[in-house]
Amino acid sequence: MRWYQPLAYLWASPATLLGLLPAPIVLAQRGQVRVVRGVVEIHGGIVTRLLSGWMPWIGHASAMTLGHVIWGNNQQCLDHSRDHEHVHVRQYERWGPLFLPAYLGASVYLWCRGRDPYLENPFEREAYGFDD
């Protein structure tokens, strides 16, 4: 573990706490919660429904990161998107509680300019490994 890792967990903790909120419900619905590479992964139950369009600002997503928590539709989605989502985990470690407003602000700015608010978002571009 890096010497600053506890600080990174603390800095990202507001989003992490938000990401952990559905965990008891997911477990009650026979979903799964586990820790992989220092990050909590949650799939099934209400998380799958949320990612499948219950949150209109997200649309449909196979996975989503909130601090040190990754939500996935199922285990296959988590396995497939793990490296991408861990880039977002590192972004939360850098930006802390400013990550969500910065991410959403970038998306709104791009949408207002007629550009793709997801694929052209600089946070997504970094996660997909695009060079600018």
**For residue 13, is it within any domain?**
yes
pLDDT of 20 over the 70 cut: yes
As a whole number, mean pLDDT of residues 119-126 equals 96
Q: What percent of the chain has a predicted confidence (pLDDT) above 70?
A: 93
* H or E element at residue 34: strand 32-36
**For residue 28, is it within any domain?**
yes
pLDDT of 56 over the 70 cut: no
Q: Which residue has the higher pLDDT, 60 or 16?
A: 16
For residue 87, give Cα distances in angstroms to 9, 81, 82, 110: 15, 10, 9, 21
pLDDT of 69 over the 90 cut: yes
As a whole number, mean pLDDT of residues 52-57 equals 66
pTM: predicted TM-score of the whole model, two decimal places: 0.92
How many domains, in total, are found in the chain? 1
**For residue 67, is it within any domain?**
yes
C-beta separation of 67 from 12 below 8 A? yes
Chain mean pLDDT for the chain: 93
**For residue 112, is it within any domain?**
no
Backbone angles phi, psi at 73, to 5 degrees: -60, -40
**For residue 61, is it within any domain?**
yes
**How far apart are the C-alpha atoms of 114 and 116, rounded to whole Å?**
7
> What domain range is 38 assigned to?
5-96
What is the pLDDT, as a whole number, of residue 14? 97
**For residue 105, is it within any domain?**
no
**For residue 16, is it within any domain?**
yes
**For residue 75, is it within any domain?**
yes
Backbone angles phi, psi at 84, to 5 degrees: -60, -50
| Placement of tokens 């300019």 in the chain | 113
Closest-CA residue to 69 (of 4, 14, 128, 108): 14
As a whole number, mean pLDDT of residues 79-103 equals 97
pLDDT class for 54, splitting at 50, 70, 90?
A: low
What is the pLDDT, as a whole number, of residue 131? 66
**How far apart are the C-alpha atoms of 81 and 119, rounded to whole Å?**
15
